[in-house]
Amino acid sequence: MSRWVRLAARNLRRHARRTLLTGSIVVVGFVAVTMTAGFVSQTFTSLGAATIRGTGGHLRLLDPKAAGKTDDEASAIFLDDWEGLSALLGKDPRVAQAMPKLSFFGLVVKGDKSGAYLGTGTIPALERGASLASDTVVSGSFFSNPDAEDVMLGSGLARAIGAKTGDLVTVMTTTPDGGLNAVDASVVAVLSYPIKEIDDRLLFLPYSSAARLLKAEGRANTVVVLLKDGVDLDAAARDVASELAAAGRPVVVKTWLETAAFYKQVKLLYVAIFFFMGLVLSTVVILATANTMTMSVFERTREIGTLLAIGMERGQIRTLFLLEGFLLGVVGSAVGAAASFVLRLILNASGIMLPPPPGGTRGTILHVDFIPLAYGLGFAIMSLTLLVAAWWPARRAARLNPVEALGHV
Amino acid sequence: MSILEARGLTKIYRLGEERVVGVSDASLTLQAGEFAVLAGPSGSGKTTLLNLLGLLDLPDSGVLVFEGKDVSALDERGRSRLRREKLGFVFQAHQLVPVLSAEENVALALWIRGLPEEACAARARAALAAVGLAGLEDRRPDALSGGQRQRVAVARALVGEPVLILADEPTASLDSETAKHLLDLFVELHRAHGVAFLFSSHDPRIVERAERRIRLLDGRVVADERASVGALA
C-alpha cells in the first residue's frame, strides 16, 4: 500500500499550488468546526452555570406527593422540617449547601397600585452565594437579615406599582388552606432579571416572612442543594435520594438538567446551528475538492491511459484517485488540528470579554474549550468528505477508454 | 509456435453519421520471437490494428487467439490481466509517470501485479541496466533526455518478461541518431531475450530492419513479407 500512498502524495505535490488551495479549504473547515465546537461547549458550560445559579443549586428536593404535579399544584405541597433535611444533607461531603424555598404568588400593593407577582421565600445569606439574583441588583442592596420584613422586587414589577427602595409594600397571597394573608415589607433592593417575563413578576422575601405569610413555618416547597465543584451530578442525585430514604425522609430528587427547559432549548438551537454550519462547510469542501480532482483527472488523462494499457485494473486507478483525496483530507485535517490548537491558545490568552449567555447575567472571558471528540470527528468528517469529493472524478478516471485516453491531447 | 492469431478483425469508428473503417477483415499470425512491423501510410490502420492485437480496444468482429486461447470474449479484467502478464507496450511519446523516478516507472509494471517492493526494485534496476540506463535509476523523467525516457519506457515494457512487446511509432518523436540507437536496442533485446516485437511504424529504418513486414492500406492487410536473412543486422 505504501507505494500507492507515495504515488498519491507525489501527485498532490506535483500540483503544489492547487493542492495548497484545496488543502487550505480543508484546514479552514477543520479550524471552523473545532473552534465552533470549543466555543459552543464553553457557551453550554456558561449557560449551565447560569441555569444552576438561576435556581440556586444543582438538585431540587420535592415531597414525593409533588412528583408529576404542575407548579401551581406543587406550591401547596410541602416538605416538613427542612432544617432536619438540611442536617441530613450536610453529612454528604459532596453537598456545599442546602436551602429551603417557598413558592407563592399573589398581589403586591403600593398605595393604589398593585401587581401580580411570583414570589420566592429563601434564606438571604444562602441565596446570595448561590443564585444569580445577587448579580442583578440595580438599586438598594441584596437582602441580608433573615428575620427582617424586607422584600426585593424585579424592576418591571417595581415600575408597575411605582415602588423604589425604601418604600413599604404589602405582599398578599392565598395560604394553602385557602385563607388570605398579607405582610408589610420594606423594599430593600430592585433587581433587573435578564428575562423580562420573570423580571415583571419577580419578588423575594426572606424565608421567615414567606413562611409566616403562607403559614408554613419549618416547611418548604423544595430544598435546593448546591453541590461542590466537579461532583458527578447523576451519582449525587441518586445517592442523596437513597441516603434520605434510608434516613426515613423519602424525597423526589430532580437534577437541574431535568427542569432546565430553557437550557435544553438553547442547546438544541446551538446544536442545530452547528450541524447546519458543518453541512455548509462540508459542501464547500466537497465542491472545491471535486473541482481540483476533476482538473487532475483531465490533465492526467494520457497518464491514466498508459496505466490502463500496461494492465492496471480500473479499481486500482479509482483507488489511486480516492487515495489522493483521502490523503489531502488527512494532511489538511492534521494541519487544521495544529492551527486550531494554536489559535485556541491565542484566543484564550487574549482575555476577550463576552456578553452574558442567554438568560445569564455575567459576561465571561472568551475561552474556547479543547474538545478531543470535535478534533476526532473533524478528522473523520474532513477525510470522509474528501473521499466523497474524490469519488466522482476517481470513477471518471477509472472508466476512461485506454485508447481514447492515450490519444488525449 | 504461434503466440497471436487474428482472424478477420474489423473495427469501424462512427464519427457522427459517418462510418470510418479503422481495420477491415485483418488476419495475421505472429510467431514467438518474431520481429515484425505493421507498415503503411498515415491512416492505414496500423495503430488501430496494434490496439486490437494488444487488447486495448475491442473489434466489432473477428477473433483473436492468444497462446492458443480465444481472448476475443475476455472481460475487462481478463484483458487487463493478459496485458499485465503477457504484453509490453512502448508508445510514441514515452508516457512515463512524471512524479516517479526511472526505477519506479519501470517497477510500476510490477507494482500492479502486487509483487513485493524489493523484488520490483531489483527487477526494475536490472531492466534499466539492460537498456543502458544503469546509474540513472533515481532520475525523474524531466531529468532525462528524450532517448533516455524512451529507453525507460522500453525497460518498463520489458520488466514483466512479456512474450510480446507492442511498440506504436516508438521512434516518431526522436531525432535520427537517438532513433537509430533505440532501434539498435530493440534488436539487441530481441536477440538477448527472444521476446517478440510488433511495431507500428512508417519509419523506414524500422521497416528495413524488421524480419517481417505486414503492410496495411485503408485498414486492410495488403502484403505480408518476410525479409531476407540478415535484416536485423
Query: The domain that contains B99 carries what CATH number?
Result: 3.40.50.300
Domain that holds residue A10: 2-51+263-406
pLDDT attached to residue A193: 84
- Looking at residue B90, its amino acid is V
Same domain flag for A77 and A39 = no
In whole angstroms, give the CA distance from residue B46 to residue B33. 20
Same domain flag for A344 and A298 = yes
Which chain B residue lies closest to A310 (C-alpha atoms)? B84
Cβ-based neighbours of A141, under 8 Å, separated by 6 or more: A188, A189
The answer to whether A14 faces chain B, any CB pair under 8 Å, is: yes
Look at chain A and report how many structural domains it folds into: 2
Read off the pLDDT of residues A214-228 as tens digits, 9 standing for 90 and up. Answer: 999 999 999 999 999
The answer to whether A1 faces chain B, any CB pair under 8 Å, is: no
Q: Where are the beta strands (DSSP E) in A269-384?
A: 353-354, 364-365
Is the residue at A68 inside a domain? yes
The answer to whether A404 faces chain B, any CB pair under 8 Å, is: no
Q: Is the pLDDT of residue A364 over 80?
A: no
Contact across the interface for A308 and B108, Cβ inside 8 Å: no
Same domain flag for A272 and A187 = no
Same domain flag for A215 and A297 = no
Look at chain B and report how many structural domains it folds into: 1
Is the residue at B193 inside a domain? yes
Looking at the DSSP assignment, which residues form a beta bridge with residue A122?
Answer: A206
pLDDT attached to residue B231: 54
Is the residue at A255 inside a domain? no
Q: Out of A225, A250, A275, pick the residue that ends a domain.
A: A250
Percent of chain A with pLDDT over 70: 98
Read off the pLDDT of residues A238-270 as tens digits, 9 standing for 90 and up. Answer: 999 999 999 999 999 999 988 888 888 888 998
* Of residues B54, B77, B98, nearest to A313 (C-beta): B77
Q: How far from chain centre, in Å, is Cα B82?
A: 14
The answer to whether A192 faces chain B, any CB pair under 8 Å, is: no
* Of residues B80, B100, B117, nearest to A311 (C-beta): B80
* Candidates B91, B95, B120, partner chain A, best to mutate (most A CBs within 10 A): B95
Residue A111 grid coordinates: 398605595
Is the residue at A195 inside a domain? yes
- Interface contacts A/B by beta carbons within 8 Å: 69
**Burial A82-93, CB ≥16 within 10 A → b, else e:** beebbebbeebe
Is the residue at A177 inside a domain? yes
Same domain flag for A297 and A185 = no
- Looking at residue A31, its amino acid is V
The answer to whether B233 faces chain A, any CB pair under 8 Å, is: no
pLDDT attached to residue A361: 60
Read off the pLDDT of residues A7-57 as tens digits, 9 standing for 90 and up. Answer: 899 988 888 888 898 899 889 989 988 998 898 888 888 888 878 877 778
Read off the pLDDT of residues A306-363 as tens digits, 9 standing for 90 and up. Answer: 999 999 999 999 999 999 999 999 999 999 999 999 999 999 999 898 887 666 666 7
Q: Out of A189, A223, A250, pick the residue that ends a domain.
A: A250
Is the residue at B14 inside a domain? no
Mean pLDDT of A388-398: 89
Pick from A4-18, B57-71, B179-193 the range whose average pLDDT is largest.
B57-71
Query: Strand B61-66 relative to strand B69-70: parallel, antiparallel, unpaired?
Result: antiparallel
Is the residue at A257 inside a domain? no
Same domain flag for A271 and A180 = no
Q: Where are the beta strands (DSSP E) in chain B?
A: 2-15, 18-31, 35-39, 61-66, 69-70, 87-90, 164-168, 196-200, 212-217, 220-226
Better-scored residue on pLDDT, A336 or B194: A336
Read off the pLDDT of residues A116-162 as tens digits, 9 standing for 90 and up. Answer: 999 999 999 988 877 777 888 999 999 989 989 999 999 999 999 99
**What angle is formed at CA A365 by the lines to CA A347 and CA A257, rounded to 5 degrees?**
115
Same domain flag for A125 and A223 = yes
Same domain flag for A282 and A146 = no
**ipTM for the complex shown:** 0.91
pLDDT attached to residue B8: 94
pLDDT attached to residue A358: 65
Which chain B residue lies closest to A315 (C-alpha atoms)? B77
The position carrying cell 526494485 is B121
Mean pLDDT of B180-209: 89
Is the residue at B69 inside a domain? no
The answer to whether B100 faces chain A, any CB pair under 8 Å, is: yes
Is the residue at A59 inside a domain? no
Contact across the interface for B84 and A303, Cβ inside 8 Å: no
Which chain A residue lies closest to B112 (C-alpha atoms)? A312
* Chain A residues inside the 8 Å CB shell of B74: none
Domain that holds residue B83: 33-56+75-213+222-226
Contact across the interface for B83 and A310, Cβ inside 8 Å: yes
Is the residue at B143 inside a domain? yes
The answer for B 181-220 residues in CB contact with A (under 8 A) is none
In whole angstroms, give the CA distance from residue B159 to residue B229. 29
Q: Out of A250, A271, A297, pick the residue that ends a domain.
A: A250
pLDDT bracket for residue B229 (50, 70, 90): low
Same domain flag for A15 and A94 = no
Is the residue at B62 inside a domain? no
The answer to whether A303 faces chain B, any CB pair under 8 Å, is: yes
Same domain flag for A297 and A198 = no
Is the residue at B127 inside a domain? yes
Is the residue at A233 inside a domain? yes
Same domain flag for A268 and A378 = yes
Angle between helices B117-130 and B102-111 (to 10 degrees): 120
Same domain flag for A13 and A74 = no
Q: Where are the beta strands (DSSP E) in A111-149?
A: 113-122, 137-140
Is the residue at B162 inside a domain? yes
Is the residue at A385 inside a domain? yes
Contact across the interface for A3 and B117, Cβ inside 8 Å: yes
